[in-house]
Structure 1
Amino acid sequence: MSTYLSIVIAKSRVNPVRPMALPRLELVAATIATRLADFVLKALTNVKINKCVLWSDSQITIHWIRSHKTLPAFVENRVREIRTGSFDDIKYCSAEENPADLLTRGITTNDLNRSKLWWEGPHWLKGGK
């Protein structure tokens, strides 16, 4: 059985007007990823998906999601939503290998169109990190 890998959907967001700490921004990104995964899994009913894994380059976010400690209200509300998502696992991906970070670093449309990282993902993804 072969593995097929393709970008299905992407979303980027600008920083809010009120400054927010980077760990909270990363948590919001994980919340958006959860919503996107739910949307895609519901939309692709005719496609057999064996496993849905979300990737984050924020170790703090992953720690919050896996933690059983009492968290601040902002964090707890988003963690609760993430935990009810349809994905199977959330794993760490370094910032250098994270395709989503291309958008946050600023990239021209020409460079994005030619980006192997954007269109194919990190080289190790097909191997199942």
Structure 2
Amino acid sequence: MGKSRVAPKRAVTIPCLELQAATLAVKVADLIKTELDYRNLTHYFWTYFKTVLDYINNDSKGFHVFVCNRVEKIRDSTDITDWRYVCTEETPADLASRREKIQNITSSWLNGPSFLNQPDFRPTPATHNIHTK
């Protein structure tokens, strides 16, 4: 299942848009879990935007209401260890906004980044020291 949204006409910061995207991913995952009734399903959420990971990992209560509401939704539905960092070159999410051939977009969207298909692939959780990667 895939879902996307168009950015609103009014000015919204990139961190806010990326946080909305993360919240949308959580809502889609919740819907899939409910509809398919899977038990003990392991899921991972990937983002290339380190600010989103910082928001999710931050325990302070000093967020603006917009950020606080979305972080609360994310934390209620997922565990911090479910979130992973992926470099922007590896994410298929931005291909639609770049000048890519349709064959590249279709392949990447259906198969995901190539590192997911490696036999020894073990995703490591994003942590507080994510900026050191």
Q: Same fold (TM over 0.5)?
A: yes
Confirm or deny that 1:17 pairs with 2:9.
yes
| Counterpart secondary structure, 1:75 | helix
Deviations 1:1-54 (A, max 9, x none): xxxxxxxx1111111111111011000000100000101111222x56541111
Give the letter aligned to residue 66 of structure 1: N
> What corresponds to 1:112 in structure 2?
105
Instruction: Check 1:90–1:77 CA distance in 2 against 1; reply closer, same or farther (3 A cut).
Output: same
Provide structure 2 residue ranges, at least 5 long, that are not aligned to the other structure.
124-133
Provide structure 1 residue ranges, at least 5 long, that are not aligned to the other structure.
1-8
Runs of 4+ in 1 over 2 A off after TM superposition: 47-50, 103-113
The alignment yields a C-alpha RMSD, in angstroms, of: 2.0
Instruction: Check 1:19–1:106 CA distance in 2 against 1; reply closer, same or farther (3 A cut).
Output: farther
**Distance in 2 separating the partners of 1:91 and 1:98:** 12
Count of equivalent residues? 118
Single out whichever of 86-95 and 55-64 deviates more from structure 2: 86-95
If each structure's helix is expressed as a fraction of its own residues, which one has the higher value? 2
> What corresponds to 1:4 in structure 2?
none
| Counterpart secondary structure, 2:19 | helix
Instruction: Check 1:72–1:13 CA distance in 2 against 1; reply closer, same or farther (3 A cut).
Output: same
**Distance in 2 separating the partners of 1:21 and 1:89:** 25
Give TM-score, length-normalised by structure 1: 0.80
**Distance in 1 separating the partners of 2:101 and 2:18:** 23
| Counterpart secondary structure, 2:63 | coil
**Distance in 1 separating the partners of 2:54 and 2:13:** 16
Confirm or deny that 1:128 pairs with 2:122.
yes
What is the percentage of aligned positions where both structures have the same residue?
A: 34
Give TM-score, length-normalised by structure 2: 0.78
**Distance in 2 separating the partners of 1:10 and 1:72:** 29
> What corresponds to 2:65 in structure 1?
73
Confirm or deny that 1:35 pairs with 2:27.
yes
Give the letter aligned to residue 8 of structure 2: P
